[in-house]
Structure formats: C-alpha cells, structure tokens
Structure 1
Amino acid sequence: MSRSGFRVGGHRVKLWPESLAGQLIALLLVALVGSQLLAGLLFFGERRDALLAVQRDHTLARTASVVRLLAATPPDQAQRVLEASSSRLLRFRLSQGPVPEAGRRQGRIERRLAADLAGYLEGTGAGAPRIGLTRLNGHGHYARFGLTLAVPLGPESEAPWLAASTVAPLRPAGWAWPAVAALMVSAATISLVVVLMVRRVTRPLRRLADAAEAFGRGEPGAPLEVEGPVEARRTVAAFNEMRARIRRFVDDRLRLLAAVSHDLRTPITALRLRAELIEETETREKMLETLEELQRMVEATLSFAREESTREPTRRVDLAALVEALVADFAELGRPVSYRGPESLTAELRPDALRRALRNLVDNALTYGETAEVTLVRTEEGTEIHVDDSGPGIPPEQRERVFEPFQRLESSRSRETGGVGLGLAIARSVVRGHGGDLTLHTAPGGGLRATLSLPKTAA
C-alpha cells in the first residue's frame, strides 16, 4: 500500500484524487461533514440535557403535588391516589422508611424539592426528603440514570414515606432526518460549484500543459488565448512570450548557420579551381581531398539547417510499419539488417524526420558494426527503438562526444569510411524534438546499442 492508494486484484485503488477538482471536493466534503457531525453532537448533547432537566423538574413538581394531595386525602383512599398519579415514567408507592436508593443526598435537587414542600414540612414536622440516583441498565442509547425520591408524610417515627422513582429512561433525540437531508443537499451543491469553478480555473492550465507538451516536441502552434483568473492569465501570457522568444532565437541561429554554410560554397569552389592548377600531383590530391571533406561538411550543415527550419506537421502513423519498411529498404540492398517487434503500433509523430533519424542510426550500425538489429518495444513510459550492432562499440566515457557536431572517434570512425560527424547529432535533435531522447549503451550481445526513446505523448 502506498500513500496514494493500494492494489486490489491487479487494479489500483486510489485513496486520494489526483485532480484539482477532486482534491478540493474531498477537502470541502471532509470539512463539511466534520463540522456537521461536531455541531450535531453538541446539539444532541444539549437537547438530551435539556430533556433530562425537564423530566427532573416534572418529577419534583409531581412529587410535591402528590405529597400535598395525600395530606388532604383520607388514609383509606391513599392507594387509589397513588395509582391515579403514577404514569409510565413515574411511579409512586408508600414505604415505612426511606427506600435504599434514596439514601444518597443530592444537594441542589434536594433543596429544590424541600423548597417546594417548605410549608408542608414545617407544618407536619416531617424530616427532610431524600433523593438519589438509580442506574437504569439495558436500554441502549436511552438515559442511563433515573431519580429516586423519598418524602416523609409526617414525623419519621409515626408516618410512612412517599417513594417516587422514574421507572423508564427518557429516550434521547434520534437522527434528525431533515438535518441529514440538508447536509446531503449542501454537499451536492458544494461539489457542483467546486466542479464548475475548478473547470473554469483549470481549463487554461490544461491548454497550457498541452501547448507546452507540443512545443517540447517541436510542433508549431498559435498563441494561447489568455483567459481565466488573473494568475492563469499571467501564466499563459508568460508562456506565449517565452515560446515566441525561443522560436525567434532558434530561427535566427538557423538562418545564420544556413547563411554561413551557403557563403562558404564560393571560396571552396575557388580553392578547388586553384588546386587543379597545381602541378605537383601529391600536393594537389591532398588539397582536393581536404576541400572535398570541407564541401561535405558545408553541405551537411546546410541540409541540417534547411530541414530544421522546415517543420513537418505531426500526424498519426503506424510506427511499426515505418520501422519495418526502413529495414526492408536496407535489406533489399543486401545489407545484414533485421527487425523484431509488433506488426502494428500507432503513434503521433513526424514520420519523415523520424525516418531520417532512424536511417542514420541503422547506417552507422552497418558501417561501424557490420550488422544491425532493430527492435521496437512498448514500455510504460512510451516506446523504444533499439538499434544493436556487432562492432567494437564505444567506451562509456566517450559516448556523449559522438553526439557533438563534427565529432568522430578516430579509433572507430575512419575518415575514409565515415561521414562528417553530423549523423548522430541530427538523429538526437530529431528525437528530442519529439520529446524523447537518444542514448548509447552496450548491446546485450556485445557491440553498441542506440536507444531511441519516445514518450507516451508521441507514441
């Protein structure tokens, strides 16, 4: 079990919602139910005490009335008076002495009854009344205690005592269903208001998240509409400005790179013409070879700048078919390349750019590793394409260097067989433009593994 939930039968059960609306509704409902329960407990407690006080006052008043009535009633009619005065909650009877339960003195209640019978007690010479508490068991949520009163009807040595006791507990107030209904209506109303308000607040934030995700994949997009609360409007406006600045910065650098590469063509052509006029064969050949390499670098740089400045639209394609078709193209040329993976796997990407990046990886694997094995797999994070070769590999401390433009490792990248050092740089640029990454590892069977990772947003 984790902080956010637990698993039941392979399914994850969340204990706390992840969305802003869900969290606000949960917090408000917890606060609402907690406050209502606390208020209900206080209300029911006060109501119970009030009803018990009413019962106590009623018992004292009835007892005082019965005492006065017995004083004016002939002795042979006393039993009939007691039966007529008794009820379901209060019973009266005559006793020759104070009942055992009334032996405990209750000062305030006793003084109240004595005050009600002050004239009678002084006139008859009777002793003070006695009052006690009786525990009433087996009644569940009913009142736990009842009153027991004993009042002398004359001098203690001559007259009997009147015993009064509550024989049934007072039933406290139950659940007030109107209050429960009001609580449910309040909870539903609050939930509805919170959902509407949160949707209004989070709508621009959701659009901002989608736009940021698309911008991270290199997709063009119009500026977002500035709406919602002031905090959301400021955030969206700042994002629009940031995206515009980044685009201007990248476009300026690409135009500068393309302009420099284009302008270098003229002096390179002039140098080639002059080299042709040199009579010494060995020197002329070396100069022409160097100029040819420089020409390839300029053309590759210009091609890279041109491709980066032209943004291909993102569309949904079958990634498995794209990879398999690329592998088939190499196989038709007699190259030792194979494919493993699903027959179909749809993804949203820029197919031409990704095909170019993957072609560079496969070509590198065949050039420097002799064979290429391409594997397409679906992962929890997205999709991965592995290109394994059987070559000598690259030391771990030098693997990041090969992604730098015009970098070639002399121990494994020959000038005669290698390119100008832009293939991996272009491939990583394309993959990162999709929101993924390109990394190098040691292949399971030896050699080098190039892993092209695409996130779920692009796969």
Structure 2
Amino acid sequence: MQFLRNINPTRAIMGRLFLWFWATFIVTALLAVWGSRLFFEDLQVIDVKPRELADLNQVVERIQRERFTDLPIHEALDRSSRGVRGRLVAVALNDNRLIAGGGPPLRENDKKDLLRLVGQNAPIAVKRGALKIIGPVFFERETTRYALFVAKLDMPEQQAPPFVLFVIIALVTTTLLSWLFAKSLTNPILHIQGSAKRLASGDWQTRVGRAAKRQDELGQLARDFNKMAEQLETMWSAQKRLLADVSHELRSPLARLQMALGLAHQQDVDPETLMRIEREADRMEALVSQLLTLSRAEAGEINRHKQSLSTALYDVFTDAQFEAANKNKQLRIADVPNLVVNIDSMLLCRAVENVLRNAIRHSKLVTDVTFSDDAQTWSIHITDDGDGLAVEECDRVFAPFYRATLARERESGGVGLGLSIAKAAVELHHGRIIAKPATKGGLRVSLSFPKS
C-alpha cells in the first residue's frame, strides 16, 4: 500500500495538472462526440433531386463509352467523378465488393449504408451526418453487374446550431472543470498566505489547518509553515522569558550598587565619580523597569475597567505639557472626546506617554495631539514637526531596542523600549498602532482602539 501511495500521481501538483487536463480533454471530447451522434448522425432517407439523378445517369453513360472501357473500373470512376460534385462508388453485385474512385477509405457506417441500398430497385438518397449517398444506378462492365452511387458532402443549410452546440459543450465543460481545479489549488494558497500575514503581525499561535492535510506540495508547504511557526513561537517565548528573568535578576545587584553608592557618599569619595556611577545606575534601573513592563505587557496581563477617556489621560497630558515647556516647545492638545472606554488605565497611559514623550523629544517646535472616533473605533493621533522617519523605518521603530537613524545618539535619552511597550499595550486592548510620515513633515503615530 505504501508503494502505491508513493507512485500515486495525484500526490504531486504536476501529476494532478497532467491528469486534470487530460480528464478535461477526454470528457469534452466524449460529450462532443455524444452530442454529435445524438443529434446529427442518424440515417435519414431524403428525396432525390432530379439534377442529382441526371448527373448519376450521365456518369453511367460516360463509363460505358469506348475510351473508358479499357481502363480499370476504379480509374474510370475517378476520371468520371470530375464532372460530379462528389465521390463515385461502385458495388459489384456478385461479391458485394466496393470500388471507390480515389480518395480516403470509406467509413464502416458508410460501407454498410451502401450495401443496404444495393437491393433498391429505384434510386434513393440517404444522409448520415454531413454525408449524402445517392443511388443505385445499375450498369454492366465485362460481364459484371455494378450498382453505382455518388457520395457527396451536404452540409445543413443552417450551420450555426451544430457549431454553437459544440462550442457550448466545450466551454461549459472546460470552464467548470478548470474552475474546480483552480479553486482546489488557490484555496490552500490563500489560506497559507493569510496565516503568513497573521504570523508577520505577531500572532505566534497562527497555524495552517486544512491545507496541512493535503498530500501534495501544498500540503508539505503548509506543514513546513506550521513547523516554522512553532519554532518562532518557541523562540519568542524564550526571548520573553529571558527578558523577564534578566530584568528580575538585575534588580538585586542594582539595589546593592545603590546601597554602595550611599555608603561611598558618606565616606567622602570623589563626588564627580560618584555622580557618574549614580547616573549610569539610574539608566540601568530605568532599563530594567521598562524591560519588566514590556514583559508584563507581552505576557497579556491586563486589568480593564470602564472610565472616562479625559480622566484617564489627564495626568499624562499635564506632565507632557510641563516637559514640553521645560524644553521650550509647544504641545497642542485638541478637545478630548466625551467617551467612556473599557481600558487598563495604567497600560493605556504608559503607551500614550511613551509615544508623546518620544514626539516631544524629536519635535522642532510643536507637537499636536488630536482624536477621532467612529462607530467601531476611537483613536489618538500624535504628530510632531521633527525630521520624521523613512517609510521603511516606520514599522521597525516598534521593535525592542531598535533606534532609528535620528535617535541613535545616547543623549537623546531612552533605551529603545518605549515604543515597544506602547505597541504591546495597544495590542493587549486589541488595537493597532501605526507610524507614518506626517503630511507637513515629522512623524504621525496613531493609536486606535475598538469600542468594546
């Protein structure tokens, strides 16, 4: 059984394409032949036209002339057929031998029709498909009696219906079968494509379902995708655990370092050296604190409750106004919509604060905060008038520890985790955060949340 599965051509897309196209061709041909036989191959007896009978009698007279008597019967028929729009066939009555005046061999059905007509006393005409047979007219040659017939193509007066029928049969059959086959290929491809998009957006639990059960290359691709997604999820989980563990473990040496700094201050150690050590310790403390916040946010820890949006953001905007004034910059905040939102106020405030402080830091003079809402979502838009970012950097700024070109200097502050924390906090609320170049220069960051 395993051997049969291995040689099964339907396990490969190439084999399936080959078999499907052949099946389409065979089914179409069979239906066309069936339709033609059903509608156009019946034997019909029709009236003999006087002109056709006169032409046949003239052929008999011509064959019996002296200059034709010395020729073999088949050659005499061939030469005599030039004056008749058809093919001459003679049947020897003594042995039912058929003699045709040149041309391709007769079909079996045509031979049978000729032999049936030999016994007719008077000429008649029969038609099968497009072939019309007229006869018999009897003559003798070299003591042998023959029955003479003429076979000619007689197309129907209206040729459109048969042609249209064949075209319709072919089009309907090939279209239906090809559509079914294309759908069987494109559905798993679209499924894998959708899963890839969800995985790229950070949904590490995304897997390809039904397509992974196929036994062809697409099924193998889906199974490989699932393995890749499992590896990525494992690596991402390990990274989150590492960040949480390292952040937690760094707390103890930092606490001891700060205690040692306190003792050093009491022992009159060089103040400038102590200030430098203390500044670096504070930076490390800030880094550890943000790492712990990021780990909690990515772990999905959220505590929602309903609250007025203006109340939730009041302290954030007050502190931002103070920070902007200290840097001789302007912060313009539009009227906060009168909305009651279901949020984790700490995470939301941390997200807005991180984006807002980043905008104030990189603005030249003005930072604007605006709001928008519709039936499904509400959004906060924070726009600065700084140098902005390139389009390709707008997605990467939310990655942990990423520093854009304009923010690489250490004096700019921060450790590259603020926007990552904002992204994690927004996604915990099932929202989206997007950065893009502002219309008049600078950067515009939009935080959108569902109304639920």
TM normalised by structure 1 equals: 0.48
TM-score (norm 2): 0.48
